[in-house]
Amino acid sequence: MIWALLLVFVICLLLRVPIAFALGLSCLGYLFWKGIPLIVVPMKMYSGIDVFVLLSIPGFILAGNLMNHGGLTAKIIAFCNHLMGHIRGGLALANIGASMLFAGISGTAVSDTASIGSVMIPAMKKEGYGTGFSCAITAASSTVGPIIPPSVPMIIAATLSGLSVGRLFLAGAIPGFLLGFGLMGITYYISVKRKYPKHPKSSLGQIARGFLDTFWSLLMTFIILFGIIGGVFTPTEASIVAVIYALIIGMFVYRKLSFKNILVIVLDSMKTSASLMVLVGFANLFGWILITEQLPQLISTEIMAFSHNKYVVLLLINVLLIFVGTFMETIAALLVLFPILLKVALAVEVDPIHFAVIALLNLIIGLTTPPLGICLFVSSSIGKVSIGTVSREGAPFLAVSLIVLILVTLFPQLSLYLPGIFMD
């Protein structure tokens, strides 16, 4: 019966049923078939959403949108361009740098591709970079966002596993920067080879002005992070403090927010959050059915029957997650698969924090893996170039991401070092 449930889910996805509703409909089919009272639908949805840590998600989304409304994307890009523009392929490097800085504000890869891509791809094309290359680097660099804290998928992983949000945020920092700097390395190599342009060196004054322009928004990331890690705020409180901070900065420093603007931004953020929470609610029901059907135990037994070796098990999980990540939205995939695979990882004595970083890294790499990676689609539609061209140009970036994944999988300290230093 469990396979019928999964089959209905996949068919619904292919028929363009929204992912959240696909989960709900497949659950409904299962409940009808098994004769289980349908009151479990609202019960499980309610209990899935009624989790205190989840309250931080609309807060972070709202704070990010309020900040972004002040033209933050352009300011971050300008600052990175001042810093790196004089290096060969400077604008491409600035693209990655902007994603690393923007990470703390957007928190999701697809929104990062869309917001940075809409500014960067036309600018790169204008300077003579290949369109495919511009789209590929934008898609690849946007995957750094959900790894570098604060990150919405990390909050979801914490909710699903009972892990500390602060620890997970810290665990993602080194892998995130490793990925960002790895992408910068390969970009520089390609830029030198193709003789991509470089700008005259910016003066210290220009760099300082660029820094001041972005300082207030970057400070928000530090307030959130150190507030949570230092035990000053819970993640939910930190998100609301970030909202108030973003409101003050947007109204009195950037002077871009009016009362009317704020209402539109609040509504937009709440619609985005609500679409996520409907997904969380149905995923809770879906997860309950999987547990009732003992699927986690089944998968765990099958994998353990294949091998007890920790690295073989992690390799299998990596392959599965990248595959799923290519066609499924990160949070949806995390909601469905993370609790199941965490049990398998724990059975081979993988640290849960380490595993959460591996799982997230896999899923975001899936976003740029051809032929279906969602970020590839978003960037190719902005650059008006075929997905095949973007995929070909993106191959070196994908290779770097996979190398980082292998390093993070093999060396747990890359994820566990910072939580150990700051939180033990």
Partner 1 sequence: MKRLRKRLALFLKYGTLASTLGLITATLIQIYARFYMENAPSWTEEAARFFFIYAMAFGAGLAMKDNYYVQFDVLFNRFTKKTRLWINRIVLLLTLFLFLLLALYGFHFVIQGLPEHSPSLGVPMSIAFSSMVVMGLSVSYFAGLQLLKTFKKPNN
The residues binding partner 1 (CB under 8 A) are 12-21, 24-25, 28, 38-39, 41-43, 45-46, 49-50, 52, 54-55, 58-59, 62, 233, 236-237, 240-241, 243-244, 263, 266-267, 270-275, 277-279, 327-329, 332, 372, 377
CB-wise, 59 or 250, nearer to partner 1?
A: 59
If you compute the radius of gyration of the chain from its CA atoms, what whole number of angstroms results? 21
Question: At 106, which amino acid appears?
Answer: S
State the nearest-atom distance from the C-beta of 76 to partner 1, in Å.
25
Question: At 53, which amino acid appears?
Answer: V
Which of left, alpha, beta for 258 (phi over 0: left; psi -120 to 50: alpha)? beta
State the nearest-atom distance from the C-beta of 244 to partner 1, in Å.
7
User: Of how many residues is the chain composed?
Assistant: 424
State the nearest-atom distance from the C-beta of 300 to partner 1, in Å.
28
CB-wise, 55 or 416, nearer to partner 1?
A: 55
State the nearest-atom distance from the C-beta of 301 to partner 1, in Å.
30
Cis, bond preceding 419 (omega within 30 deg of 0): no
Tokens representing 343? 């049990």
CB-wise, 244 or 395, nearer to partner 1?
A: 244
Determine the Cα–Cα distance for residues 41 and 46; give it in Å rounded to an integer. Answer: 9
Q: Which among 304, 377, 306, 305 has a CA at the least distance from the CA of 341?
A: 304
Determine the Cα–Cα distance for residues 255 and 247; give it in Å rounded to an integer. Answer: 10
Question: At 216, which amino acid appears?
Answer: W
State the nearest-atom distance from the C-beta of 15 to partner 1, in Å.
6
Determine the Cα–Cα distance for residues 140 and 143; give it in Å rounded to an integer. Answer: 6
CB-wise, 18 or 71, nearer to partner 1?
A: 18
* Residue tagged 């066609």 (tokens): 327
State the nearest-atom distance from the C-beta of 8 to partner 1, in Å.
11
CB-wise, 55 or 174, nearer to partner 1?
A: 55
CB-wise, 138 or 326, nearer to partner 1?
A: 326
DSSP-based helix, strand, coil % in the chain, nearest 5? 80, 0, 20
202 close to 86: Cβ distance less than 8 angstroms: yes
State the nearest-atom distance from the C-beta of 32 to partner 1, in Å.
10
CB-wise, 49 or 407, nearer to partner 1?
A: 49
State the nearest-atom distance from the C-beta of 277 to partner 1, in Å.
4
273 close to 61: Cβ distance less than 8 angstroms: yes
Tokens representing 26? 């497949």
CB-wise, 213 or 329, nearer to partner 1?
A: 329
Cα–Cα separations (whole angstroms), residue 196 to 133, 135, 199, 203, 399: 11, 15, 10, 22, 21
